[in-house]
Structure 1
Amino acid sequence: PVDFHGTYPLPEAQLDRFLVRLELGYPNPDMEMAMLFDQAVSLPVDSVPVTMSTAELSQMQQDVRLVLVDESVAKYMLDIVARTRGHSMLKLGVSPRGSLMLFRAAQASAFVQGRRFVLPDDVQRVAPYVLSHRLVLTSKARYGAVAKHDVVYGILGEIPVPA
């Protein structure tokens, strides 16, 4: 919770180290009630079954790296990232680390979908979560209540999608 005593936003260099940023919000009242009673006697985490070993997880991470990315799709990713640099609403665009994270997240998206190759849809699916927190808005954009994810969606709408 930023803006509370003792909490501060992370610097851009540290934010850039996170693969994605998700905003979950609050649970609905029924879910929150269930949460209260689920934790009344024991912690739910104590009853979570092990679904894979660390070796299996490591293998899955290696398998994600083997998902193929066509050069046209890689160029599409770089075009998206390049558009963030020098964008009129941005003081700071996506770094080369952000490009790599977009590439890796698109591979993971394809893998989860059961494919061994990345589609532009994978890039579009993950881009708002991978890129938004890496952007720094200009003062004018901040005061105009521009949302970073809206900038990303706008860029996605501007860049031609490879066939």
Structure 2
Amino acid sequence: MKKVIIGKDEVLEKVLICLLARGHLLIEDVPGVGKTTMVKALAKSINLSYCRMQFTPDMMPSDITGITLYNRAQEKFIFKKGPIFNQIILADEINRTSPKTQASLLQAMEEAEVSIDEETYQLKKPFMVLATQNPIEYQGTFPLPEAQLDRFLMRVSLGYPGVNEEKEIIKNYQESKWLNKITAVACEEEIIEMQKEVDEIYVHEDILHYIVGISNASRSHKDIHLGASPRVSIDLYRGSRALAYIKNRDYVIPDDVKKIVPYVLTHRLILSAEARIEGRRAEDIIKDVLKRVHVPVVSGNEG
């Protein structure tokens, strides 16, 4: 993926964390910085079924989940599966469609299944949704509701590249290198096996207490109207395990948790009216939350 997304190793690491933790990723940034290209690079790097859905204002839930049609020849109704039945889903510009259509992703993202006409269909694993959106200041967008945002394990932003990185991007484009050099380096079975190995990463009781402490501190902060839910605590637990695995450790350290907190919490917190009026940023408030929580001293596979 580094062949295509230049100078954004930190962001690529978060993509990998979400994949290994069986989570979903929200990529928010201005147009043209490589959001869609990054997801395509991921899809080409792993040998899984892939589909890109371009969200538009007139898109319907059935365009995602599928539709039941009557087959005259067979004289029965047949369910035609929608694009959600792939394994890597690119939901491009998800905030360009209506809340009703956005909500059709909820069950798939949470339970890896889809219910249509009283029938429930299991989605093939591994399953991951990577949604892109432009900032809500732009016209023609529908902000994602809290319930939808809560289904994304992390939110990342690519940002503009540096001068040298942008020059390299231009060269790659001119020489038609982009996605052509990427070949699959992992298959379905290998990804599932890695996810199982992540589940075996050791988490000390003090680390669990640290995670819960961060969530509790966000709930009582004066600048936060709605703090972290128990699902956030679970996602911090899952994400920190995946990061430890990437760092080639079989145990989680406090820095693993601390490093992913901004990416897991920022899009889920609802700031108080006073904080919004004062122009406070969720990122700054999270830093304050972290300062209030005691950091445990845990090293190695204790216990």
TM-score w.r.t. the length of structure 1 is 0.91
Cα displacement (A) at 1:43: 6.0
Q: Which residue of 1 aligns with 2:296?
A: 162
Q: Does 1:38 align with 2:169?
A: no
Cα displacement (A) at 1:118: 0.8
| Structure 2: runs of 5 or more not aligned | 1-133, 298-303
Which of 125, 129, 136 pairs up with 2:263?
A: 129
Q: Distance in 2 between matches of 1:158 and 1:3?
A: 32
Q: Distance in 2 between matches of 1:30 and 1:149?
A: 28
Which string of whole-angstrom CA distances, capped at 9 and with x for unpartnered residues, describes residues 52-88 of structure 1?
Answer: 1121111111111110111111011001101111321
8 Å Cα contact 2:221/2:289 also seen in 1: no
RMSD, matched Cα:
1.6
Q: Distance in 1 between matches of 2:233 and 2:205?
A: 14
Q: Which has the higher strand share?
A: 2
Q: Does 1:83 align with 2:217?
A: yes
Q: 1:89 to 1:111 in 2, by over 3 A?
A: same
Q: Distance in 2 between matches of 1:41 and 1:159?
A: 50
Q: Which residue of 1 aligns with 2:253?
A: 119
Aligned residue pairs total 163
Q: Which residue of 2 aligns with 1:23?
A: 157
Q: Which residue of 2 aligns with 1:48?
A: 182
- Code of the aligned partner of 2:196: Q
Q: Does 1:106 align with 2:240?
A: yes
Which of 286, 290, 293 pairs up with 1:152?
A: 286
Which string of whole-angstrom CA distances, capped at 9 and with x for unpartnered residues, describes residues 37-62 of structure 1?
Answer: 42346461232122211211111111
TM-score w.r.t. the length of structure 2 is 0.51
Q: Distance in 2 between matches of 1:43 and 1:145?
A: 42
The more displaced of 48-57 and 32-41 is 32-41
Secondary structure of 1:159's counterpart equals coil
Secondary structure of 2:225's counterpart equals strand
8 Å Cα contact 2:201/2:251 also seen in 1: yes
Q: Does 1:140 align with 2:140?
A: no
Q: Distance in 2 between matches of 1:153 and 1:109?
A: 20
- Code of the aligned partner of 2:173: Q
Secondary structure of 2:220's counterpart equals coil
Q: Which has the higher helix share?
A: 1
Which structure is higher in RCO with an 8 Å CA cutoff and minimum separation 6?
1
8 Å Cα contact 2:223/2:271 also seen in 1: yes
Tell me which stretches of 4 or more aligned residues in structure 1 moved more than 6 Å: none
| Structure 1: runs of 5 or more not aligned | none
Task: Please say which structure displays the higher CA radius of gyration.
Answer: 2
Q: Which residue of 1 aligns with 2:202?
A: 68
Indicate the percent of aligned positions where both proteins have the same amino acid: 37
Cα displacement (A) at 1:134: 0.9
Secondary structure of 1:21's counterpart equals strand
- Code of the aligned partner of 1:24: L
Q: Distance in 2 between matches of 1:45 and 1:95?
A: 39
